[in-house]
Structures are given as C-alpha cells and as structure tokens.
A and B are shown apart, each in its own frame.
Chain A
Amino acid sequence: MALRDIAIVGTAQRPSEVNSTFTSVEILLPVIQQLLDKVGIERSDIGFWCHGSCDYMSGQPFSFVSAVDAIGAWPPIVESHVEADGALALYEAWVKIQTGEVDVALVFSNGKTTSGPIDQILSLQTDPYMVAPLKPGFDALAALQARACLDAGVVTERQMAEVASRSRRDANNNAIAFTKGNESVEELLAMPYTMNPLRAHDCATPVDGCNAVVLAAGDIARRLATRPAWIRGIDHRIDTQRLGARSMTESSSAAIAAQKAGVGKDRIDVAELHAPYTHQELLLRKAMGLSESTHINPSGGALVANPAMAAGLARFAEAAESIFAGSADRVLAHCTSGPMLQQNLVCVMEGE
C-alpha cells in the first residue's frame, strides 16, 4: 500500500511555568485556539483529535476525559487519547490519516508536571510486580544508567556537562524554555552531585506545559502551510520492561527505530532529541548514528523544559518549526518514554 504524504503544518506551545494554578483544560484551550488561528482553520475542519497525557500526573482517573472540554465536542467530534506523550498521539493521528478516513488531525498534549512528585509518579510506570514496589524513582534509575555508561567508558562526565552547557545556552533563544544559563563546562563540572553521578544540570527541569500540532495530508497540507514538514519515516520501538535484562549502556530500541525511520539515508540538519538526562542524549546520538554536523536540540531540548507527556510532542513542534522557517531541510524528532530510554519513537521530516 502506498503511504499518503502527511506533514505537520502548524504548531503552538505554551511557555513553561511551574506550580500553575490553572486547570489542565484552562491551560490547553488557549494553545489550541492559537494553533487554529495560526493555521487558519476552524474546529470543524479537524477530522480527528488525538490527545496525550497521563492520569497518574493529575491523580484523577479519567482526568483526560475533561480535556475534551478544551477542544469542544459539539457538534460531535472524532477523538482519541493515549496515556502517553503527545508524540505517541501524533503517531496515532498519522496512522488515522494513513487509513484515508480523515485528512486533517489536531494532536495535543499537556502535563502539569509540578503538581506532584514526578520522579515517584513516573516510576509507577515500571513493572508493577518486581520493580514498582521498590519505588526506585526515575532520577535514581537514570543515575544507575549513567553510572553504567561512565564505568563502561561509553560517556564521560565532561561530555555530559557539554550537553548541559550547550542546552542551557541554546535555551536563551527559546521563549518556551524554563532553565537558561551561560555556564562553561568547567563551571558545571565544579557543581556538586545531586545523585551521583548526576548533577542538577544533568536532569531535566520539570515544568507545566502543553502544546499542539496540526497534521494534514497532501495538497491540503500544501495549502495550509508555506513549507510543510513532511513526515518521511516514523517508527516506535520498545526495549524489555525487565530492567536487568537490557543493556544500560546502549539503546537498541532507539537504534532500530532510527533505522526504520530512515535516519541514515541522508544528512540530518536538526535533531530534536527527547533526552531528560544528559547521558541519554549521548546514548541516543550514538544509537541513531547522528554525526557532528547535526545541530542537536537548538531549542535547548527537554533538559531545559520537560513537561512530562508533552516534552516529546514539543520535539516534533520544534523540529517542524525549523522546516517552516527554512533553517533546516531534513530534521529528526524523537520521543522517549519509560525508565532509562525504554521506549523510543523516531520521526524524520523534510521540507519540499
């Protein structure tokens, strides 16, 4: 079956904040309205709506249902939800458009990450029998992974500090970013460990945020955007949930997803990697075979603003925007999920 040409034609993101006093619905609604205005379409033009969020983060079962209020459900709409990052919702919307049932989809995601102990909440994603009862904490699991990588010589603490330094500098040019800075690698290396071998700047900043993108097929996409970001390959792979059964010093799921998405077929100008820890960016770059010529996370990445369940879709938005602006011709967007890079979704987009 021939695949349809599908592109991102518009994006909108809410600036990061912490301890937001708005409800998720109040946070989402203006962003969705802003996106519709930007793309120049009405709610009735959307054939499919897909939402990514996590009920554990709001502590309310079926809290995602209330998010439908933010998109308006009268007259009736076709919508779906994934209990995952919005990037996975984008994948579902892409499949929906591929079926030929719809031509335009709006994908949105939100995460009020600072309304609860996100480190503990995310660790509830682990195997409920053998791991979750130990309450390991996501930072602790990442620290174990970083330690394994350092001991194996796969990464160095200097390389990790370089990732943090570059991300914090790039964040200065991004209105959405939360953590910004101009520290040198030496200055960062002089900081104390917060969870050995991780320092504070090695861990992503949890923020409240949300974002949305519009996907459209073929000539509709060409009509809605001057330079659509065409999805040329997209693939999602998962490593085993058994933490002891997979290598902590490489990401095989990221490597397979990147290969299947066609990352290596041509040069990548910009890669927006969803790496909540500095060493994970290094593992991802290696797994995907990204060269030095690729500009990694010009937005500052998830490290400087990590709205859980929205940070992956944010990577798609940022990568697509660089196509819109003409500053890149071939880009990569990535989303991870689960502990220690368990799941990886990789997408390659191109301008025409």
Chain B
Amino acid sequence: MSEADGLVRLRQPIGVTYNWSAGPNATSHLAGLIAGKFIGKRCPSCALVYFPPRNGVCPKCAKILAGDVEVGPKGTITTFCIVNVPFLGQKIKLPYVAAQILLDGADISMQHLIQECEAEDVRIGMRVEPVWKDKSEWGPSLENIQHFRPTGEPDRVMGTESGAS
C-alpha cells in the first residue's frame, strides 16, 4: 500500500495456474512439430484435412476428426498482409509479410511469416517452403519454423484444387 496525492493505492496482482490439455487430436499435431513434421487430421464425414486440427473436430460436420494426415512441407500463399506499422514488442524488421499458407494436402490455411524475398514480390498463389530453426530450439510449436520462403516454382492458381479454401 502506498500513499501519493492523498490517495491510498493498493496493488493486488492475481495469478492462476492451469493444467491445460491439448487433447488427443492436437497432441498428434504437436508431437509432429517436435519431430519436424506437419500432421493434420481428416474429417471422417467431409474428408477435409485440417492443419492445424483446431479443437479436434470438424466445425462444418460437428464430427471428431479421425486419421493423421501428413501435409506440406511446401505450400501456397492464399492471402497476405504487408506489415509497415511499428508496434510494441516488434521483433522483425519492417516491412515484413504475414501470409496465410495452404500447405500441400491441407484444406485450411495457417498463418506464418514470408522472408528471403522483397515484400512487394509476395503474391497470392506463390509457392513457399518452411525454413526450420536449429533442431535444438524445436518444441511443440509452429515457432519451430523460422519463416517460409519462396520455392521459385510456378505459381498455383488458387481454387482449382478440390477442397481448397
């Protein structure tokens, strides 16, 4: 308790510790990342492949996801954003690109960084591949990947694959 300006102030930080469970579906996904693999899950009803497997269910069909499906590692940019605005806690040099990447074989995209090219060269349909951090830094996280970079392959025209979103 401190007194200033005639006011009594009380600081009482509150903290709570939780035991968080990823659940069986996300667990195989996270274990895959530890092993350097992209493991998604397939909906037994509509056959869409989810990477990451969200909460372990297909929200379209309300069904528990079933078999593991390895996807990627290459993917295609479905949309992107060039970040020019500095903000608190920023770690990456401006301007940089945050993109939605549809890994090969997956039906939902994931967000990651695009580096090793000029921001202005990034485009929808651009083919990219992951650049992994040193293995010693790997954990159960997509942060195992430093960023994605262009492969140089011809662009993919989006919306021509079945199930692509």
Which A residues contact B (CB, under 8 angstroms)? 19-26, 29-30, 32-33, 43, 56, 58-59, 66, 68-74, 114-117, 120-121, 124, 132-133, 135
Most-contacted residue by chain B among A23, A43, A56, A114 (CB, 10 A):
A23
A23 touches B59 (CB 8 A): no
* Contacting residues, chain B, for A56 (C-beta < 8 A): 16
Determine how close the nearest CB of chain B comes to the CB of A233; give it in whole angstroms: 34
CB < 8 Å: which of A20, A71, A124 contacts B62? A71
Query: How many CB-defined contacts (below 8 Å) exist between A and B?
Result: 84
B25-61 interface (Cβ within 8 A of A): 25-26, 54-61
* Contacting residues, chain A, for B61 (C-beta < 8 A): 72
B59 touches A73 (CB 8 A): yes
* Contacting residues, chain A, for B63 (C-beta < 8 A): 29
| Complex-state Cα separation, A132 to B12, whole angstroms | 9
B82 CB within 8 Å of chain A: no
Encode contact with A along B1-16: 1 for CB under 8 Å, 0 otherwise: 0000000001010101
B43-89 interface (Cβ within 8 A of A): 54-64
DSSP majority for the A interface? helix
Question: Lowest 6 CB-CB distances: which A-B pairs, in order?
Answer: A72-B62, A133-B12, A25-B55, A23-B23, A69-B59, A116-B18
Q: Which residue of B lies closest to A124 (CB)?
A: B14
* Contacting residues, chain B, for A133 (C-beta < 8 A): 10, 12, 14
* Contacting residues, chain A, for B136 (C-beta < 8 A): none
A59 touches B57 (CB 8 A): no
| Complex-state Cα separation, A22 to B62, whole angstroms | 16
B25 touches A26 (CB 8 A): yes
Q: A26-B57, A59-B18, A132-B14 are known contacts. Are A21 and B24 too (CB-CB below 8 A)?
A: yes
Q: Which residue of B lies closest to A68 (CB)?
A: B59
CB < 8 Å: which of A26, A116, A120, A135 contacts B23? A26
